[in-house]
Amino acid sequence: MSGNEMTYIQDAFDTNWIAPLGPHVDAFEKELASYVGVNDAAAVSSGTAAIHLALRLLDVKSGDIVFCSSLTFVASANPIVYLGASPVFIDSEPETWNMSPQALEHALYDAIQDKKLPKAVIVVNLYGQSAKMDEIVAICQKFNIPIIEDAAESLGSTYKGKASGSFGKFGIYSFNGNKIISTSGGGMLVSNEGEELNKARFLATQARDYAAHYQHSQMGYNYRMSNVLAGIGRAQLEVLEERVSARRAIFNKYVQELAHVPGITFMPELPETRSNRWLTALTLDEREAGISVEALLSALAEQNIEARPVWKPLHMQPLFEGDKFYPHSDNENISEQLFKMGLCLPSGSSMSEDDQMRVIECIQESLIKAKSISV
C-alpha cells in the first residue's frame, strides 16, 4: 500500500458509500480510462469477470470458438468455457513470449477452411511485455475478428507510445493482490465504445431492468467493484509510475548481476515498447548453466526464497485436453520451450536491495556448486 489509501477508505466510511457503486467507483473508472487513453472503463470484481463480460458483449455462446494465447494463466481462457464456447490456443513467439502472429494467421486460415471463424481473439501481454500488436491487429482486421487484450499483468506498459490494453475492442486489467497495483481483488474492463461499457455495467449488476420493482429479462452477474475497493485503487493508481520504475530497476539489477552467466537469458523487451516488468522472468539452459530449473527452484526454496516456473501452457492443461493448438511453426513450439526452461524471480515493488542481493547470491552459489559437482 502507498499510505494514501486510508484517505479514500475513510471518505467512503464517512459518506457511507460502502456498496458496489459510489463516487470512488466513478472516479476510479475515469482516472484509469484517462491513464490508458481510452474513452471509458467499468470497474468490476476481477480481471476474469472483465473477460467474461467482454465475451458476453461479443455474443459468445455455446458452439462458438475463441482464440486465446496458450502461455498464460488459466483465467484468460476459463470465461470462454463459462459460455459454452471452445478455446483454440495460439503459441508464443520468441521476441515477446506472447501470441505468435504467424501461428494466429495459420489458425485463421484454417478457420476459414472450416467455415467457422472465431468470435474473438484474446491476446495476453505476459509478465508486463506487450505482444506484437501491430501485426496482431492487422491480421484480426483482415478477418474482421474483434480483439480482447488481456493486460492483467501489463498495466503501465506501453507499445509504441500507446498503453498496453488499449489496442483491442476491449481491454482488461487486474487488481488482484499480486498485480503491480492492487485493490486486494478487482479488475477493469476498458473500451472506446462507451455504450458497450454501459451494457457491461448493466450485466455486472445482475442485469436489473429499469423499473421500480426488481425485473430481469437477461442473465446477469454480481461483478461490480465496491466503493471502498475503488478508493484503494485510486490511491494505488497515483503511485503506478513509481511501481513501474521500481520493477524495472529490480529487473535491471538482475540483468546486471546475472546476464553474463552462461545459460541465463532474460525475457526480451520488444523495441519501441516499455514493459512494466511485473515479474522478472528468464530462461535457464541446463546444458550451459549446469543446473536444471527444478534444482535452482529447490535451492532458492531452501533459503526461503519463493521463485516459480513460468505459466504452464494452457494447451498442456488437463482441463483443455482435446482443444486445438497452433504452434509457432512446424518445428517450433515456443510456449512449451519456455515452460521447460523458464522461471520467475522475486520482483515485488517494495523489495529491498539487500533482499534482491540475497536472491542473486543464492543463484550464483547454486550455479557454482552445480558446476563443481559436474566436474
Exposure pattern of 342-364 as b/e (b: 16+ CB <10 Å)?
bbbbbbebebeeeebebbbebbe
H helix runs in 22-66, sequence order:
23-36, 47-57
Could you give the 3-state DSSP secondary structure of residue 89? strand
Q: Which residues belong to the active site?
A: 179
The answer to whether 30 and 85 are in contact (CB under 8 A) is no
Describe the strand order of the beta sheet including 121-124 as a list of residue ranges. 40-44, 187-191, 170-174, 147-150, 121-124, 65-69, 86-90, 325-326
Distance between first and last Cα of the chain: 48
The answer to whether 170 and 151 are in contact (CB under 8 A) is no
How many angstroms from the chain centroid is the CA of residue 310?
A: 13
CA 218/CA 213 separation, integer angstroms: 15
Q: Count CB-CB contacts under 10 A for residue 291.
A: 22
The answer to whether 65 and 85 are in contact (CB under 8 A) is yes
- Residue 86's DSSP bridge partners are 65
The residue count of the chain comes to 375
